[in-house]
Chains A and B, each alone.
Chain A
């Protein structure tokens, strides 16, 4: 069995595989993740060929999923790896959110639960030249304003497919894993061959997609930002005082905004404002 180590936010898992096809899928999902940061893996995951083109995902030897479709297997592996890495993550807030940069030095964090519209917003900004960091997890190491991203393929639901096809305009098809529930898009399609993994946190924007709503951008006070940020922290139970002092520290040093949008046609206005405020 071949294997690789995946490390993020002072947490690590080992994942092994049997077949070349499984190895290629893991490359597609995790080639951009640091192999090791000195932390011993606390879980061993494995992809095992189960016959008839089926792959099993095992956690410490116990089967937890069985998939035929490549996209379904990718979804199961991504979900399990993210869960296991977050479960033991420490040393700072792990925020459930997307992260992008306009200049490769400063990051804009877009926290939000599934369905908030952060992936669609990320996709749109990527197509406009922003650099990709993550669409799912960002780690903010304690006492710093550095953002370290879990750089995985952009995971788009079916609702974003029409926009994806429009923005791709026929390029990079081989770097998109299309399946019945959505699309996994390699960040290299938009961000070039070397997507960045870390940048200085410069802005936090909480997106909310509401069909038909007018564009609304409102500034958050430090206390409002603390509350909203804390609501998206995935590893609170591993942190001193559940991450409250760290969320407050970040909120004192970084500006936060709430964005409501109802249509991607409103986003150029948001992008122009964001770039102007960041001087990017």
Chain B
């Protein structure tokens, strides 16, 4: 995942927030994704304006104790959501 890429949600997905977690559902493909609190936060920061690097930096500032693994978490989450069609790049 290139740090300069800007992820954004693919249209057509329906979201349901439960506590800090998220369920993402596509009614046409019937694809369903579960996002834990970290993945839910990453997904919500994907607005097509912020780059991967900016999302990582924002989360690292907010959660400095998770600095060591934040870049990996962001990359893995974005890769998974892109592979399943919930995110694309702008």
Q: Which residues of A contact B (CB under 8 A)?
A: 221-224, 226-227, 230-231, 236-237, 241-242, 244-245, 247-248, 251-252
- Whether, in the assembled complex, B41 has its beta carbon less than 8 Å from a beta carbon of chain A, the answer is no
User: Cα distance A241–B34 when bound, in Å?
Assistant: 17
User: Cα distance A11–B71 when bound, in Å?
Assistant: 51
Pairwise interchain contact B27-A227, C-beta atoms closer than 8 A: no
Known A-B contacts: A223-B18, A236-B27, A247-B16. Give 4 more (CB < 8 A).
Answer: A224-B34, A227-B34, A230-B25, A248-B18
Interfacial residues of chain B within 14-51, with CB under 8 A of chain A in the complex: 14, 16, 18-19, 21-23, 25, 27, 30, 32-36
Given A221-B21, A242-B27, A244-B25, A227-B14 contact (CB < 8 Å): no
> Count of A-B contacts with CB under 8 A?
48
Given A242-B14, A244-B14, A248-B16, A223-B25 contact (CB < 8 Å): no
Among A223, A236, A241, A252, contact of B30 (Cβ-Cβ < 8 Å): A236
Name which residue of chain A comes closest to B15, CB basis.
A244
**Size of interface on B: residues with Cβ below 8 Å to A:** 15
Chain A nearest Cβ from B29, distance in angstroms: 11
A-B contact pairs, 14 of them (CB 8 A): A221-B19, A222-B19, A222-B21, A223-B16, A223-B23, A223-B34, A223-B35, A227-B23, A242-B25, A242-B27, A244-B23, A247-B16, A248-B16, A251-B18
User: Cα distance A244–B19 when bound, in Å?
Assistant: 15
> Interface residues of A: mostly helix, strand, loop or mixed?
helix
Residues in A neighbouring B16, C-beta threshold 8 A: 223, 226, 244-245, 247-248
Q: Which residues of B contact A (CB under 8 A)?
A: 14, 16, 18-19, 21-23, 25, 27, 30, 32-36
Among B14, B27, B32, B36, contact of A231 (Cβ-Cβ < 8 Å): B32
User: Cα distance A231–B25 when bound, in Å?
Assistant: 10
Residues in B neighbouring A223, C-beta threshold 8 A: 16, 18-19, 21-23, 34-36
Name which residue of chain A comes closest to B40, CB basis.
A223
Pairwise interchain contact B18-A252, C-beta atoms closer than 8 A: yes
Pairwise interchain contact A227-B30, C-beta atoms closer than 8 A: no
Residues in B neighbouring A248, C-beta threshold 8 A: 16, 18, 23
Chain B nearest Cβ from A9, distance in angstroms: 20
Between B19, B23, B27, B34, the greatest number of chain A beta carbons within 10 A of the residue's beta carbon is seen for B23
Residues in B neighbouring A247, C-beta threshold 8 A: 16
User: Cα distance A226–B25 when bound, in Å?
Assistant: 10
User: Cα distance A226–B30 when bound, in Å?
Assistant: 14
User: Cα distance A247–B21 when bound, in Å?
Assistant: 14
Chain A nearest Cβ from B27, distance in angstroms: 4
Name which residue of chain A comes closest to B19, CB basis.
A222
Chain B nearest Cβ from A165, distance in angstroms: 39
Residues in A neighbouring B35, C-beta threshold 8 A: 223
Chain B nearest Cβ from A204, distance in angstroms: 14
Pairwise interchain contact A230-B32, C-beta atoms closer than 8 A: yes
Given A236-B27, A241-B14, A242-B14, A227-B19 contact (CB < 8 Å): no
Among A222, A227, A237, A251, contact of B32 (Cβ-Cβ < 8 Å): A227
Residues in B neighbouring A222, C-beta threshold 8 A: 18-19, 21
What are the 5 closest A-B residue pairs judged by CB atoms, nearest first?
A223-B21, A222-B18, A223-B18, A227-B34, A242-B27
User: Cα distance A245–B15 when bound, in Å?
Assistant: 9
